[in-house]
Structure 1
Amino acid sequence: MVQTYVPELYEDDAHSVIDIRSDSLQSLRELGPPDLVHLTRQGTKSSTKQIGVYHHVTGVDASSSASLAAYINTLTHTPNERQLKVTSGLYCCYNAFSRVDMRVGVQIPGTVESYCVDERGHKLEATEEHWLETYLCCVLRAYSYADNGSGDAIKRIAGVRRFNPITSTEQEHKFLDAAEKLFFSGWQLGSDPEIQVPNLVSNHLTSGLLNYIKTTGRYASGINLFEKLRTRDPEISSLLARVYVLADEEVKAIQLLREAVEELPMDYSLLDCQADFCNRKGRADLALEVAKRGVIAAPSEFGTWARLADIYVAMEQWDLALLTLNSCPMFTYQDKDAPRLPEPSRVTLPLAPETICDEIDDAGATPDTDSIHPTLRRLAAGNYRGTFHKAYMLLTEITQKIGWDQLLKIRSQVFVMEEEYRSEKQAGTGTGTGSRNASTVALRGTDTPQPNGDSEDAGEGESSAANGVSRPAQSITLQPSAEESHEQVPPDPSHTEYTQFQHKRLCERWLDNLFMVLYEDLRIYTIWRTEMSQSRQELTYRKTPQELEVLGELAERLHRKEEAIEAWQACLGMRFSPKAMRSVLAMYERRGDVRGIVGALIRLVAWQFRWFSEFSPDLLYSIRRLIEEEGAVKIRSIIQATPLPQHILDLTHQYAALCATFRSNGSDG
């Protein structure tokens, strides 16, 4: 079993990281930051000077003080500093249920002390209930802070060891038992950034459970858990139905949803599950009415409006899709809790010999290879998260289907544009306060306004983008102060066309900004493709690896998959990039290229191990699915036949062995 070495961040003498962590407890809003492990070292000779060294960790068993003390004991003998001995260690693990920091202090040799610190810095006694809550938070953080293979999460926080918190069926039983006991308190943990108000079925606990079940394929365990919980509250039927769908038990899922909706006809989670299922089956017509009811059931949630917009896109009702998007409630993105510590005085990131491979060496970056053009650096869309990211992806999907010119045409048909506003204002016609608001229009399926943008030239917008992207005209945005009066406009069924100014809607400021951001994305994309076309003739085109990463992301969010892969592969041709390799892996998965998938997985797993991450749910999921489809014997043979050092291949074998431990389909032969 290959294990990572221990990263070491040296504490600045002027700042105690433990004190800073204690001070930051009151500002935590989510699951909490990764666990903090602080060691005190002293010279083996007569020197009395003590040195503070720390690192972060996820996935360590935090069910008791003994298990955390055991982890500290594994750090007492490290190959990094042979002249220093560890005299004491402190393990800090956040309990997001009780909002306390659980701490285990170890004197070496000597005693073990466990206690907890609350938000005010008071020292409290650690109870059994505290440890149960802390253990569950530990598992959820291991999944929440795991890297998806791209390296983004690894690079965000320096010096984090990532372990798999559940490596056996016994540990699974322990996790699910804790989840069952604390399930009805899960809303206290917060939720994903797209959820405005955490509830029984939408919170970090339920997200973590579904993520675990999907990653490991332990559907029977998930079904058993949610079946038991459903007897206590029928709302949990939506979670059970989602697991049935994951397990390819779609008939049971539909039967369950039908029964549950009859009992809870306005439960938006059940309605959303139904709408999502029908839409993915190509029956947007069936999903539409369900999605409308979901919006009525939860009008303040982004997800219900986004689902309705997605269905209108599937039905090619572009104007209603834009109006629905305009009605989406947008939330400020709440990022994961991260350590708020000062810069360490020194950082040591030792690499285990078993993880070193020249092919995946991305540490040789220089200012020249890592430089990036200011225009690419300023692209705002790459920084979108949460609701704004999902709204932008819906807008780009519409653009990819009908073209930029057609999008602008439909936009000018449904929203008030600045020029016509000025001319109408001069004519004294007002702003059409008797018209229906956007929300009402989107929910009325029979009043589909015409024209709908479904003209013969709908697909020709792309050709104009190739020659240059026209800048969108300014629309009149809905001011925050006018939002309430706008939503209170009474419906008027007689307005079925956008042929007059007073029938149009005001555009939300954030959506207006998305159009401008999309314009800039398309402009840069068009310039890039033009340069590429010219370079094939002149052979003078040159980009740095980091610029190619940005261009790959740009093409990907514009749904230009082939162009994105071209950028990723060009990047990999110059230097290894986990972000590029992760996207190339997705391409191999779409094409069913088994050897390509295995090759990409081996390199990503090795890169992860190199940077102290022994666990990535996304990579484990890819390996499990591959074994299910092709069989473990074939996959092990392909891994072994890959021309890389054996110690690198063994890292992927560890992931495959985990699938055998959980008895995944295909792992027995």
Structure 2
Amino acid sequence: MVVHTDCLRDVPDIFENEIGESLTTRTEGLGMIRELGPPDLCHIVKSHSSNRNEPEIGSYHHVLGVDTSSSASLAAYINSLQYSLSESPGWFGASNGWKITSGTYCSYNAFSNVDLRVQIKIPGGVDAYIVTVLGERKEVTDELWRECQVSSLLRATLLSDSLAYDVTGLRRVTPVNGPREEAKVIEALMQQFWNGWSLGSNAETQMISTARNFLADGIQKYFSGAGRYADFAAEILAPLAYAPLGGQQSPVRSSADFKGVDPEVASMLAQCYLEGDEEVQAVRVMHQALKIKPSCYPLLYIQSEFLRRKKQLESALTIAHMAVKYAPSEFHAWAKLAEIYIDSKDFKRALLTLNACPMYIFVGRDMPRVPSPRRINYPVKPDILADYNLGESFNNSTHGPVPSSSRASIDSDAPGYAEEMAQNGSSDILRLSAPNLNGTFAHAYKILASIFGMVGWDELLMLRSQVFFMEEEYCNSAVPGAAVDDELEEEEEKEREKAGEKDDDHLPLSALRERALSESKPDIETSGMVKADADTNGHLEETKAETQGTDEMQSETKLDEKPEAESDLQENAAEPKPGSKPEAEPSSEAPAQPAAKGKKKNKKNKGKKAQEKEKESANPEQAEHVEQAEQANGDVAYETIAALGEKMDEVSLSGNNEGDKENSAEDTAPADSAVVATSDIAAPESPFEPVSAPQTAVLEAKDKEPSASNDADNADNVTDRDDESQQIRLGDSNIVRKRLCERWLDNLIMLLFEDLRTYTAWRSRMHNLRATGQQVTYTYTQAEWEALGELALRLHRPSEAKEAFEYALAIRFSAHAWMRLLEMHVGKHAAAQKEEHLRYENVPPPLPLNSNDSLMMALDAIVWLSVHNDRWYNNMVYPNPVCESVVRLVKIHGLSKVRNSLVSMNLKVPVFNIVKGYLEFAEKFDVTGAKW
């Protein structure tokens, strides 16, 4: 094996074919950066000091976490690489003829979209400049240095998971080493906080705002990963939230004498208080901010989640509806509404809400564009890896010296590596598409899987057929293109504009809530007339064409209508009704549609006073009773009556059970008017009979049976039947309208079916193998065991996922499997484990988190992952998923117990020092449990 002396000992080296080609490629790719940018690039040039015939060599590596606040810190980093060059033994000690003569450090500034570069010559000077997207070179200002520092910190924080973001030749270092450095970082973050919107946002956010961007996400992840919610609220959020609106930071003021509060920053502050178990402070902040802006979507989102945690599902549902109203393009608002419906056991509306979610294209992280390397050096530390087999299997001559064994233990039943790779190539388990979902589609799949976990597959298919049109229904429908009546909302908005109603954005929360409740509950005094209007609507529309003549024109002049109502009446008279038969085609073969199910407002509700005239011409007795009711109720406007009648036909997604129960209970008060109004006309068809047009399909509850009686002569039976139908319409929250299923949701259901089929085959095979006493470990390859573990997690079976990951580790080391087991031992999946134990009788209870066995298993996983991180140059203590797990253990057991348990494991000194760094971080930053 060839030993290269031009390599770094503990830093990866990617050697160039031509010196500087990596810098040229990076300059050309600046215009293709979409988010925070790629990791920092450190390029160095080496030359041989004694042999002048040796040409200069150019190499580079990527870095995350280096302090980029000044050129001095970057020059110090490049200078430190001089001491990492490999040393060769000589007559008078170790020496090396290769030296670093120059270096260039590149860091992307995501605020200004420029690349900041520092060129260093050893010995020599330091030259700092920026490179624009067009390749122009400009001078660096203090503002650009500060922006570059914040951009580098955000990349190190948001890309801290090495398993989720893997780049060739990437080195990670700790960005913040102590409280003193953290104070400087916080100052820079607060200065750039109001410009965070320019960085963009994650793939699940549509509208970028102060609280929804990469800067806010990075700060929140930095503090929440360590459980430091109190520091986050006191040092950053409170000064920003109580600053003047739109201004910069100011000293913290008490909540009693505040003069202004930024609603979006207040939503972050309230969420921080909730996560830190300070609910009183969170409620106070939300109350103050909602008085400033009741329509703030982030505040409504946090409030609905808080009410959901408190099991106040009806209130949470109301707030979630308001959040959807004010932010209809935000996926999180719709997703939260669907989750609350699931908690309320209203799975039909949960599916409809999920179907209405806006879906966005996922944009992945920025990856560095590099040329093809000449060779790559991945140095190892033999003293650390001596007792830890990480199962590496690549070629030593290409990547440097690595452990040669590819299995943790030699077993005659274990397949060889080549045989395992061939089996993976033809595996159906590894070809599942659900693990490849990202962004909004991955979140939507979780919601769909949660519905499946609660109702089962058969019930999910039944719910799907009840709320969505199947192919046969759609093909047989009269108007397939109008299955989704979204134009109703547009008509409502136009009518509101004509009426001159004001915008709701600046109304107080109490007024909005009262308006929402009043819209869902019709007046008790006019419910009888509404019922009469709903019952006679079908008959009136059938006889409408015959009554439009001179009598109608005379009544039109007597009513003294507005000009808009006259034009609407003429347009309405010219159009045929959905339930009426054309005069030119008297054939009875055309299916008649009940007018109570017609949903087109432009045919049914244009000119609200035209309906009243038709009622007078169709039934004089009915008109008299309407006038009497009008006088008794204090000159109730016809517009209000028509609107309330419209609400009876229209079934919304609000699901206000309380209001519906009140209406159904008090519905018998004006029964006399309903009897008189329906005594002289034919009884309408049952609203629950099958219909031909898909846009008018209405579902009924399981416990409600429609009346089969259609006797028009018996007025009492008609009235009872109508009252019962009306109560079903008002009181049953499960009545929904069918919709067309979106293509992406249909694909997610198919992906769920593929997962379920694979899961069923896996569990059946496991049962047969254990019943016959056969070998289980090598039934699947390591990659298949990991895929099965992820499959079990997606289907909310954490106990079986744990079993699959343990089988994967029995074959070979896997950082992914160790990370999943560590998450289970520190309580990340505690809610799913508890729910699984309560739902299935054969599942044993999970191991208590405060037990010694759980602590030792977690420490075992931490040790293995720490060795793996050190092997792949991940020296970042925090932010780090392993360090976050250590902080959780400290919070559960206390720092002293965790440290003593680590000492009892008798680790080697280098390995113990690596893990001890996480405990030192917990003690240095005073996390919860660090003092006991």
2:901 matched residue in structure 1:
638
Q: Deviations over 1:484-518 (max 9, x none)?
A: x9999999752559865432201111111111111
Shift of 1:14: 8.8
Matched, 1:203 2:213: yes
Rate the CA distance shift 1:439–1:302 in 2: closer, same or farther, 3 A: farther
- Of 336, 340, 362, which aligns to 2:365? 336
For structure 1, the residue ranges without an aligned partner over 5 or more in a row are 448-484
Letter matched to residue 494 of structure 1: D
- Of 273, 288, 307, which aligns to 1:259? 288
Shift of 1:86: 1.4
Shift of 1:220: 3.6
| Aligned 8 A contact 2:826 2:889 in 1 | no
CA distance in 2, matches of 1:430, 1:98: 50
1:26 matched residue in structure 2:
31
Matched, 1:6 2:11: yes
Q: Deviations over 1:570-600 (max 9, x none)?
A: 0011111111111111221234022222222
Matched, 1:535 2:769: yes
Shift of 1:272: 0.6
Letter matched to residue 320 of structure 1: R
1:86 matched residue in structure 2:
100
- Of 229, 233, 240, which aligns to 1:229? 240
Letter matched to residue 526 of structure 1: T
Shift of 1:343: 3.1
Percent identity over the alignment is 37
1:377 matched residue in structure 2:
430
Shift of 1:9: 1.0
> Which one has more relative contact order, counting CA pairs under 8 Å at least 6 apart?
1
Rate the CA distance shift 1:525–1:65 in 2: closer, same or farther, 3 A: same
Letter matched to residue 53 of structure 2: S
- Of 263, 276, 284, which aligns to 2:313? 284
Letter matched to residue 327 of structure 1: A
Q: Deviations over 1:517-547 (max 9, x none)?
A: 1111111111111111111134154111111
Rate the CA distance shift 1:494–1:384 in 2: closer, same or farther, 3 A: same
CA distance in 1, matches of 2:47, 2:742: 61
Give the SS at the match of 2:23.
helix
Shift of 1:433: 4.6
2:805 matched residue in structure 1:
568
| Aligned 8 A contact 1:313 1:321 in 2 | yes
Shift of 1:432: 5.4
- TM score, norm. by length of structure 1: 0.88
- Of 851, 855, 860, which aligns to 1:594? 855
Point out the structure with max Rg over C-alpha: 2
| Aligned 8 A contact 1:22 1:119 in 2 | yes
1:50-199 mapped onto 2 (5 Å cutoff): 50-80=56-86, 82-147=96-161, 151-153=163-165, 156-199=166-209
Shift of 1:43: 2.6
1:414-563 mapped onto 2 (5 Å cutoff): 414-422=467-475, 424-425=476-477, 428=478, 430=480, 433=483, 435=485, 493-494=648-649, 496=651, 500=691, 501-502=694-695, 503=697, 504-538=738-772, 539-541=774-776, 542-563=779-800
CA distance in 2, matches of 1:74, 1:108: 12
Letter matched to residue 754 of structure 2: E
Shift of 1:57: 0.6
2:446 matched residue in structure 1:
393
CA distance in 2, matches of 1:429, 1:297: 32
| Aligned 8 A contact 1:6 1:350 in 2 | yes
Letter matched to residue 79 of structure 2: N
Q: Deviations over 1:60-118 (max 9, x none)?
A: 00000110111000112324474532111110000001111010111112121111101
CA distance in 1, matches of 2:83, 2:55: 19
- TM score, norm. by length of structure 2: 0.64
Shift of 1:232: 2.7
RMSD: 2.7
Shift of 1:48: 4.3
CA distance in 1, matches of 2:487, 2:142: 54
1:472 matched residue in structure 2:
none
Matched, 1:403 2:415: no
Give the SS at the match of 1:304.
helix
Give the SS at the match of 2:225.
helix
Shift of 1:221: 3.1
Shift of 1:4: 9.0
CA distance in 2, matches of 1:547, 1:521: 13
Q: Deviations over 1:606-636 (max 9, x none)?
A: 2112111122432222212221232211111
| Aligned 8 A contact 2:823 2:885 in 1 | no
1:359 matched residue in structure 2:
388
Rate the CA distance shift 1:385–1:414 in 2: closer, same or farther, 3 A: same
Q: Deviations over 1:442-483 (max 9, x none)?
A: x99979xxxxxxxxxxxxxxxxxxxxxxxxxxxxxxxxxxxx
Letter matched to residue 555 of structure 1: A
Give the SS at the match of 1:368.
helix
Rate the CA distance shift 1:136–1:348 in 2: closer, same or farther, 3 A: same
| Aligned 8 A contact 1:4 1:614 in 2 | no
Q: Deviations over 1:221-264 (max 9, x none)?
A: 32232111112331210111122122221110111112211221
Shift of 1:357: 4.8
Rate the CA distance shift 1:637–1:486 in 2: closer, same or farther, 3 A: farther
| Aligned 8 A contact 1:436 1:492 in 2 | no
| Aligned 8 A contact 2:109 2:115 in 1 | yes
Residue-pair matches, total: 621
| Aligned 8 A contact 1:631 1:667 in 2 | yes
1:466 matched residue in structure 2:
none
Shift of 1:324: 0.5
- Mean CA deviation greater in 56-65 or 284-293: 284-293
CA distance in 2, matches of 1:169, 1:141: 20
Rate the CA distance shift 1:534–1:488 in 2: closer, same or farther, 3 A: farther
Letter matched to residue 62 of structure 1: T
1:652 matched residue in structure 2:
915
CA distance in 2, matches of 1:437, 1:280: 35
Give the SS at the match of 1:36.
strand
- Of 568, 572, 577, which aligns to 2:814? 577
For structure 2, the residue ranges without an aligned partner over 5 or more in a row are 1-7, 88-95, 246-261, 394-405, 407-416, 491-515, 522-598, 606-645, 652-686, 698-737, 828-847
Letter matched to residue 5 of structure 1: D
Rate the CA distance shift 1:583–1:437 in 2: closer, same or farther, 3 A: farther
CA distance in 2, matches of 1:374, 1:488: 56
2:343 matched residue in structure 1:
314
Letter matched to residue 888 of structure 2: R
| Aligned 8 A contact 2:21 2:371 in 1 | no
Give the SS at the match of 1:515.
helix
- Mean CA deviation greater in 595-604 or 249-258: 595-604
CA distance in 1, matches of 2:61, 2:890: 35
CA distance in 2, matches of 1:486, 1:71: 70
Letter matched to residue 531 of structure 1: R
Matched, 1:214 2:224: yes
Matched, 1:368 2:378: no
Rate the CA distance shift 1:419–1:659 in 2: closer, same or farther, 3 A: same
CA distance in 2, matches of 1:604, 1:437: 55
1:348 matched residue in structure 2:
377
